[in-house]
Amino acid sequence: MINIGVIGYGYWGPNIVRNFNAIEYGCVKSVCDLRPQALERVQKNFPAISTTSDFHEILSNPELDAIAVITPVATHFPLVKQALENGKHVFVEKPFTQTAAQAEELINLAEQKHLKIMVDHTFLFTPAVRKIKELIAIGVAHTTQCPYCIESHVKAAQKAGATAKEIAEAIFVAAALRAGGAFAHSTIAMGTLKGTEGK
């Protein structure tokens, strides 16, 4: 069982708590939010979950294996970094960080500490993102080119069997990744919390 702490219970936080509690290997133990009314909603909907307005209580709790960061993007880097420094796996809402440098620092820190980071990417399993992964795997594009200049690989993608629709979707996603800056790096570097039980 993976014991999870959630930081942020605003618009998206309730969905994260509900979904983590619905999976057999996950159990939300504690939720943090600065707003008393948000914590009241947690206690009403999930009476077994403890609440706090101090995120340090979540980050330093030795009973928690993983932290979900569901807060404004400006807070992602410091919260995720502290979670990793405290030995926690991390699930973080998109966008991952504000800059590519922040994303790379967190990815490197997670690797050094043998921890997982997963960015909640809505389109992770869509055909366009799968096609980007496939194009990278067969060498038509690589991780430094794909999000930024996939347009230059359209002919090679067609030769590899990609349909016009798949290519158009991939270009659309590449443009979105380009606009997202660090998000492009986080998409490539995603891990998963599943399989971290007991680590």
pLDDT tens, N- to C-terminus, the chain (199 residues): 889 999 999 988 898 999 888 888 889 999 999 999 999 999 999 999 999 999 999 999 999 999 999 999 999 999 999 999 999 999 998 888 888 889 899 999 999 999 999 887 666 666 766 776 776 676 655 444 434 344 444 555 555 666 666 665 555 555 454 444 433 333 333 333 333 333 3
Among 71, 88, 83, 82, which Cα is nearest to 2's?
Answer: 88
Which tokens is 49 given? Answer: 């979950």
Q: What domains can be seen in the chain, in order of their start residue? A: 2-122 (3.40.50.720), 127-182 (no CATH)
What is the arrangement of strands in the sheet containing 50-52, beginning at the earlier edge strand?
A: 50-52, 26-32, 2-7, 66-69, 89-93, 117-120
- pLDDT tens for 43-60 read 999 999 999 999 999 999
10 Å CB burial of residue 4 (0-12, 13-18, 19+) is buried
Torsion of CA 197, 38, 61, 91, to 10 degrees: 40
How many other CB atoms sit within 10 Å of the CB of residue 132? 27
- pLDDT tens for 68-82 read 999 999 999 999 999
Name the strand (E) or helix (H) holding 118. strand 117-120
10 Å CB burial of residue 80 (0-12, 13-18, 19+) is buried
